[in-house]
Amino acid sequence: MKTAKPAAIADKATPATTAHPHGPGQTHGASQEAALVLAEEYCRERGEKLTPIRRKVLELLLNSGRATKAYSLLDDMRQIHPGSAPPTVYRALDFLLSAGLVHRIESINAFTVCHDLTQCQHGILVVCQQCGNVTELHQPKLRQALVAQIEDAGYSLASDEIELKGLCSACQAKEGAASAAGSATPVAAAK
């Protein structure tokens, strides 16, 4: 059973319904370093160690700001440690998953940092199918209702997390701008 993650990482007053986006640039400099230090403290409290390799994989995920595939992480690791092999990254990811520091996004076979570093279980992750941004939804009542419906239908969840696929607001805006530009061209040409 997991112990609570350091409360210092989380906001002091977390409302019952919150969203934690994983967009590019969500974690910068000092906050990234603070997240790494707190992750080390959390691991130490559990009697485990955030080894240099594990820390580097977590740092790479923090830098990416979105869901990242293991082989992309391996490519990044090889820039730093040329001899890195797939098992190195996969073992680090397995540890980070078991510690609750990262989420695995099954639908796109990628990983992302858990940005709500309290002991809450988000249960609902919204994944942008275009850019890979991930938003963690902390809505316990909604999750409980979904799980109840799933169980009433005769199923049991294979994972603690529920993934929803969608298009983030930034990608929606890009598509809207592209559609507007595309529809403006034929109108202008017709005149």
Binding residue positions for Zn(2+): 128, 131, 168, 171
- Regarding beta strands 123-128 and 134-138, do their DSSP bridges make them parallel or antiparallel, or are they unpaired? antiparallel
Binding-site members are 122, 128, 131, 168, 171
Picking from 147, 157, 58, the residue whose alpha carbon sits closest to that of residue 100 is 58
What residue type is 79 in one-letter code?
Answer: Q
Binding-site members for Fe cation are 122
Q: 139-166 burial by CB neighbour count: b if 16+ within 10 A, else e?
A: beeebeeebeeeeeeeeeeeeebbbeee
Q: 75-92 burial by CB neighbour count: b if 16+ within 10 A, else e?
A: ebbeeeeeebeeebbeeb
Phi, psi of 23 (to 5 degrees): -85, 165
Phi, psi of 47 (to 5 degrees): 80, 20
